[in-house]
Structure 1
Amino acid sequence: MADTLKLDAFLPYRLSIASNRVSNAIATTYQALFGLRIPEWRLVAVLAEGGAMTQQALGARTHMDKVTVSRAAIALGDRGLVTRAPNPADQRSHLLTLSEAGWQLYREIAPKALELERQIFEAFSAEELGRLRQMLERLEAAAAAVEPARG
């Protein structure tokens, strides 16, 4: 029966499992070494790469929902890792920026993140990694095409 779902052969399930395993390995390290959860680290990384952003822009960039972004931003603010400033383009929002402590933390974490990536993918050749990146881009585009529009 070709129509029978076998979970272990269902690619969306397998992608989810692989993603969860990679995320859990990384999350454990970030939590143990830096006291950060994955959403908090994502905000730090995006702010380091892109500069000041609103929470809405951070949500769009990280593909995290607004509640997750808000909680991560509050946690980072409470630790003095980000600063908030009025958004001159929209008085209803604020711009988040890494503080000096946030930049220092980023400079400590970024090399560790790259090392974890190297360890996870060390069994893959450069050619395989290039193909994987291309396939992920195609997969993300295909999923976006069938994803219901967000209201």
Structure 2
Amino acid sequence: MNGIARLASLYALSAALAIAVNLACQAAVIAAYHGPYAIPLSILFGTAAGLPVKYALEKRYIFRFQPDNLAHDGAVFVLYSFMGVFTTAVFWGVEYGFQYACGTDLMRYTGGAVGLVIGNIIKYQLDKRYVFIPRTALAEAA
């Protein structure tokens, strides 16, 4: 398998794992809480559960990034999270769109998966260009 195919496969696998964590968490929240804000809470909790999983997998297996120390790792995670705001908006928009159009849990989860795939494609490009870059590249750019 060539380098690009290997990277795409690893990225797809890491994204699939994070998506599974996200959607499983959403399903758990929906099963536990049936109140008026069940859907927004499930999406919020799913996102919060999937984010650190995705960060850890991408940092290690996709970008092979080694932070200098814990503070550097924290700063990179903050930037990673910030870059995810846009892609999270895409994901949530697609998920809510499926919920609005179809009105069923199955279609909302389908919309969530579709939105997460779209968001992951965009997120990879953002992370490659702006997040997981060596400090030497940052110093040269300044």
Q: TM-score, normalised by structure 2?
A: 0.31
Write 1 or 2 for the structure with the bigger share of helix: 2
Write 1 or 2 for the structure with the bigger share of strand: 1
Q: Answer with 1 or 2: which has the greater Rg.
A: 1
